[in-house]
Amino acid sequence: DADSVEPPILAKAHAILASKCNFPPTQLDALAAVTAQLQQFADGGHPAAAVAHGADDLGAVFAHVTEAEAAEPTPALLRRLEGTYVEAQRPLAFDETGMEGRLGYEHYYHQNIADNPQVGTPKAKMKRLALELRKLAEEGSLPVSAESAIYVMRDEARVDVLKVLISGPADALRPEQGETPYGLGLFEFHVFVPQDYPNVSPLVNLQTTGDGLVRFNPNLYSDGKVCLSLLGTWHGEGWMPPTAGNSGSTILQVLVSIQSIIMVPKPYFNEPGYAEEEGTPAGEQRSREYNDNLRAATLRHAVRDMLRRPPAGFEAIVRSHFRLLRPLLERQLKRWVAEAQNDS
């Protein structure tokens, strides 16, 4: 819609298409002409002629953009989106916002927060948190890329109250090997750091559950429970308190472990007793069916619902995440639909 596109935005789009996208010169000229016409309208020229003619030309340019994106080889598309995504999103990876509302903290662990006022917090906890959060705030400390990212938001008043968005890992170049059923979706987690930290692990709960209806993984329950050895809720090596010779486990390790150990390409086999089925025809078929259901849930709750109702404080991150990755998400969706039809 030409009426809703401002000349400065079109001018910026022209610069990007010219410098980074190898866009056809004729289409660039058409976009420049439309921009000039709309600028004339903005300056008090002849709006009817400018908008009527501009709308047709602008529609043709946008149609060509869509066609060009669809035809662009995936490796080239990924390279282009990676640079744009990292440049836009990395500065947003760590931030703070007010999480306390009129009736208390809008947080899964609101009761823990109320029961543990900041006054009297042990010095060991505050010192450790200050160290970890200072590192997380350094640009580049949190992983941010087009195919996987982690965003951390701390409460502006309390450093022990956090909210996190984890993007589901994708693998556009090797979807048959590395793609997960969570690809490009955004999953919200609430984190509270207890008083005995760092001698004990943080508390973590998944909020993206379709209002408690979806179990996204054998390790991610529909009530939000996260089963992970670092949290003491799963078998394996647990939380390591810091010692004189060891820096100990960290909040970042927990978040990266959720993304890399839980959000895997074949989560069906995370279920105890099912791992032995991996590689068998029956087991692989059940895994594909399990993934088909998770893919649908990801699109419904970690994409659609996330766009409709982004978590407070994360609005800009959510909007830009999906806007920047739209071409990848469209390709992934087409692939998922085709594979689901083959499995049915």
Which sequence positions are flagged as catalytic? 227
| One-letter amino acid for residue 218 of the chain | P
Q: SS3 of 211, please?
A: coil
Mention every residue, 6+ apart, whose C-beta is less than 8 A from residue 101: none
Q: H or E segment at 153?
A: strand 148-155
- The rounded distance, in Å, linking the Cα atoms of 65 and 282 is 43
| Spatial CA neighbour of 13 closest among 315, 323, 322 | 323
Q: H or E segment at 35?
A: helix 25-42
User: What's CA 101's distance to the chain center, in Å?
Assistant: 25
Query: What is the full DSSP assignment across 109-135?
Result: THHHHHHS-STT--HHHHHHHHHHHHH
Residue with tokens 């602008």: 58
Mention every residue, 6+ apart, whose C-beta is less than 8 A from residue 269: 275, 277, 278, 283, 287
CA distances from residue 341 to 158, 180, 289, 292, 307 in whole angstroms, order as listed: 48, 18, 11, 10, 26
